[in-house]
Amino acid sequence: MAIRIVERDDGGRLHYIDIIDDEVRVSLLLLLSGLSPVKITVKADSGGSKPLPFAAILSKVFLPAGYPDSVTPVVCRYQVFNALQAFCSSLASLLSSRAVLEGFGVGDPSASATNALLLSVVLDFFSRMTTIVSAYFIGTSLVPESKTYRFLADILNDGAIVLETLIPIFVAASKHGLPSLRVPALCLSASLRSLCGVAAGGSKAAISLHFATPVSGKGDLGDLNAKDASKETVLALMGMLIGTLIVPHITTPTSTYTMLFTLVSLHLALNYYGVRGLALRTLNRQRASFLWSTFRQTKNVPSPTEVSKNEDIFANSSILKDVTTERVLGSCTFASNGFGHILATGHGIPPFDLFKTEQYVLWFDRTCTSNSGKELRGSVLHMYIVLKKGHGALDHLKAWVHAYEVGKLLAEYPETTDPTTALCVSYASVVEHLPLFLTELAEKTWIVEEGGLVTTLPRKLLVEADVTFDGERRKDQ
């Protein structure tokens, strides 16, 4: 009788070692029973090990270790769409590359290498400046709004491809006395590609982190990124090889632009369906509004997959919307410059006693209150959230659902005109329902601790008052 040693990896997959030799089997039994400290050496069969099937080799090369247990379930669907869109983008890039070479003067006897060098320097300048500026403005929004910026990156990339492919038309137009748009088009294309790089880099990192953190277990983020890079390299190479067979036969403007817009349309469609299917488990403002609104109506929290089916890729994240009626309740913003956003309105002061135990302060925009701040106007609701020192992800969520409750209250009872009353009544509702809401979020595998509601770097609120009384100066906080 043979002995089979069963091993399991971290993903739970089985690995077997069969031992048939009688002498080794007896020694192994003695070792396992603790009767003999025998050192066992299992020799390989003289016939050699069996070669792995081709599919197994491909899975080891291109799939992360422990797949599919080490990644989230949607990774396979997303990777299929990502592979197809990368192939389309590679083919379209060949058409634009040919046009860019014409823009640099290839085939023009009057062009010089010096002019081409200076043009490349100008393009590099615009590219680098765009990277610096865009990273400053959108850097903190890339992770919370990763789906939006992942799709936006492809739109920017396709915009750059279309601009570059139009270069021959601009060159021909300049020969007929029209202003030359060749250099401005190339500069704009370089800027779009740089902006694409910033948006794609940050959003891909957030999506990869989501893929590497399944509900049960944990994957290797580094290995996942490395395998993704391998797949993209192979697909880009395949696109270039196939493109070298197709592009030489596409010589007329009609065939060029027909092929271009076909590839661009396919590229955007594949990206849209790939990004739309991402079921991220972290919270941003749109998901938080959807979850809280659904919970207040049904007492249940939808799963990440259900939310992804209703999530808009391009949406104003400041909007507070009732998912049942699709009615916009108002908008809310996390104030980046702290208390100045509230006091600068000059329309009343928030009830600080209400927020004494909270790490945030919520108040109305000056367009929503009277000059005294004691009465609400009938204008479109807009509020500010100012965070206190020591705030965290749970405080962000509580402040956001508080703002939602204010909007819901004013929509259902428009006769409410006292801002303090609106804040107090809605706050009581939040305190009553938030504990059960958090429990439901945990049961549906939502991640609350990784805050994604604040997309800017806010200043913390610390109010100090210097008071002089009978010649004695005191400082209170």
Contacting residues for 426 by C-beta, under 8 A, at least 6 apart:
402, 405, 406, 408, 409
pLDDT digits (tens, 9 = 90+) for 148-167: 999 999 999 999 999 989 88
What are the helix (H) ranges across 113-166? Answer: 113-138, 146-165
Confidence at residue 97, expressed as pLDDT on a 0 to 100 scale: 87
Residue 125 DSSP symbol? H
- Give, for 35, the enclosing helix (H) or strand (E): none
Residue type, 107: G
CA distance 126 to 401: 42
Domain positions in the chain are 1-43, 75-276, 285-443
107: region left, alpha or beta (phi > 0 left; psi from -120 to 50 alpha):
left
Q: Which pairing describes strands 382-387 and 360-364: parallel, antiparallel, or unpaired?
A: antiparallel
Instruction: Chunk the chain into consecutive blocks of 10 residues (it has 477) and report each block's average pLDDT, rounded to whole numbers.
Output: 58 53 53 49 48 70 74 82 88 87 69 80 93 90 91 94 88 76 89 94 87 75 83 84 87 88 93 91 91 92 91 88 86 71 59 87 80 66 86 92 92 82 92 94 89 73 51 49
- Nearest Cα to 208, choosing from 232, 224, 227? 224
Task: Give the span between the Cα atoms of 65 and 225, in whole angstroms.
Answer: 11
pTM: 0.81
In the prediction, which pLDDT does 351 show? 81
For 196-207, the three-class secondary structure string (H helix, E strand, C coil) is HHHHHHHHHHHH
pLDDT of residue 463: 54
Tokens of 229: 């890079």
Select 75-276's CATH number: 3.40.50, 1.20.1250, 1.10.287, 1.10.730: 1.20.1250
Strand partners, 472: 469
Cis peptide before 414 (omega within 30 of 0): no
pLDDT given at position 195: 95
Q: What per-residue confidence (pLDDT) applies to 38?
A: 45
Element housing 58 (H / E): helix 54-62
Cα–Cα distance for residue pair 149/139, rounded to 1 Å: 11
Q: Which tokens hold the place of 110?
A: 């009057």
pLDDT of residue 265: 94
